[in-house]
């Protein structure tokens, strides 16, 4: 299982290097334009170019909606996203309870 996960991660990173993930607007969700290192978002393996569709099972289309959804569960975050290549992913992680805004994402609508 770990070998398959490592293979898919490497394949995804190589594919993302070939794609310009600049400030591309999206019609659904919110686009990630940067992920800060050593944060919950980095640990969830989110990348620039991914689009967050739901957070804690709540659809999000703005940064405000995203941070309100994070606050529904102050210590845990469950995200459904679409990679820049179009694959659907589900990631989850513990977050900083006292600072949900410190998840480590820079977002763009």
Q: Domain residues of the chain, as ranges?
A: 2-108
Query: How distant, in Å, are the alpha carbons of 1, 24, 44, 45, 83 from that of 92?
Result: 18, 25, 6, 10, 15
pLDDT value of position 15: 58
Torsion region of 72: left, alpha or beta (phi above 0 gives left; psi -120 to 50 gives alpha): alpha
Residues 72, 77, 83, 84, CA torsion sign: positive
Strand (E) or helix (H) holding 67: helix 63-70
CATH fold of 2-108 reads Pdz3 Domain (2.30.42)
End-to-end CA distance of the chain: 35
The tokens describing 40, both together, are 């919950």
pTM for this entry: 0.74
Q: What is the pLDDT along the chain (109 residues), one digit of tens a residue?
A: 778 777 777 767 665 554 454 556 677 899 999 999 988 899 999 999 999 999 999 999 999 999 899 888 878 899 999 998 899 999 998 876 666 567 888 887 6
Per-residue pLDDT, 21:
47
pLDDT in the model for residue 26: 72
């Amino acid at each position: 299982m770990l070998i398959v996960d490592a293979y898919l991660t490497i394949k995804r990173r190589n594919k993302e290097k070939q794609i310009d993930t600049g400030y591309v607007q999206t019609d659904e969700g919110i686009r990630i334009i940067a992920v800060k290192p050593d944060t919950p978002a980095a640990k969830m393996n989110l990348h620039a170019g991914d689009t967050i569709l739901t957070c804690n099972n709540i659809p999000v289309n703005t940064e405000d909606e995203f941070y309100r959804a994070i606050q529904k569960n102050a210590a845990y975050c469950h995200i459904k996203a679409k990679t820049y290549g179009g694959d659907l992913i589900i990631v989850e992680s513990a977050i900083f309870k006292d600072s949900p805004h410190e998840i480590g994402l820079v977002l763009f609508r």
